[in-house]
C-alpha cells in the first residue's frame, strides 16, 4: 500500500533551516542523462529518458518518459571524449525544445574549424515544470 506524506515545509532537527515544498519540487532535476554518442549511441544512465535517437553525426534527440509542462525548461550540458585528444568540446541545443524531447548537438573545436562530433561521454540535466 502506498503512503503519502503531506507537509508544507521541510526543516532540520533544530528548525533553523527550512525549505518550502514548492522549492524542493521546483529545484529538482526533472530529467538527466549520461549517454554514449560514439559507435552505437546509447543511454548509459538516466532519469525520465525514454530513449535516445542518433539523428546524424554529433546530433541526438533525447525523448522523455514523462513530458515537461511546457518547453521553457532549462538545462546544462557537458561532453567529453575518452581522454585521448586535447581538442575542446561543447554541447548546445540543436533545435527548439519541445515538451516531449530535447535535441542536442556535440561540437568539437579545432583551431578555426568547428565540426559536429560524437563523444564517448555526453551528459545533460534539465530543470522545469512536469506536465
- Provide the mean pLDDT of the chain: 87
71: left (phi over 0), alpha (psi -120 to 50) or beta: alpha
C-alpha torsion sign, points 25, 71, 103, 67: positive
Please give the pLDDT value at position 43.
96
Question: CA 17 to CA 27: how far, in whole Å?
Answer: 16
Report the relative pairing of strands 18-20 and 9-11 from DSSP bridges: antiparallel
Q: Answer yes or no: is pLDDT of 47 > 90.
A: yes
Q: What angle do CA 108, 110, 113 make, to 5 degrees?
A: 90
% of the chain surpassing 90 pLDDT: 46
Q: DSSP string spanning 47-109?
A: ESEEEEEEEETTEEEEEESS-BSSS--EEEEEEE--SS---EEEEEE-S---SSEEEEEEEEE
pLDDT above 70 covers a percentage of the chain that reads 91
**Grid coordinates standing for 17?**
533551516
- For residue 1, give the C-alpha cell: 500500500
Which pLDDT does position 23 carry in this prediction?
84
CA distance 25 to 19: 10
Alpha-carbon span 69 to 19, nearest angstrom: 23
Per-residue model confidence (pLDDT) at position 82: 61
Q: pLDDT higher for 113 or 70? A: 70
Average pLDDT over residues 68-78: 92
**Domain coordinates in residue numbering, the chain:** 31-127
Amino acid at each position: 500500500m502506498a503512503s503519502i506524506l503531506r507537509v508544507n515545509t521541510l526543516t532540520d532537527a533544530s528548525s533553523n533551516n527550512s525549505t518550502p515544498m514548492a522549492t524542493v519540487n521546483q529545484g529538482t532535476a526533472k530529467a538527466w542523462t549520461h549517454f554514449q554518442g560514439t559507435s552505437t549511441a546509447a543511454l548509459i544512465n538516466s532519469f525520465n529518458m525514454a530513449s535516445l535517437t542518433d539523428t546524424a553525426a554529433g546530433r541526438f534527440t533525447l525523448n522523455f518518459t514523462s513530458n515537461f509542462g511546457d518547453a521553457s525548461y532549462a538545462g546544462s550540458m557537458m561532453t567529453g571524449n575518452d581522454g585521448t585528444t586535447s581538442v575542446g568540446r561543447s554541447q548546445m541545443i540543436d533545435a527548439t525544445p519541445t515538451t516531449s524531447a530535447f535535441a542536442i548537438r556535440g561540437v568539437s573545436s579545432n583551431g578555426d574549424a568547428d565540426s559536429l562530433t560524437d563523444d564517448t561521454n555526453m551528459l545533460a540535466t534539465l530543470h522545469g515544470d512536469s506536465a
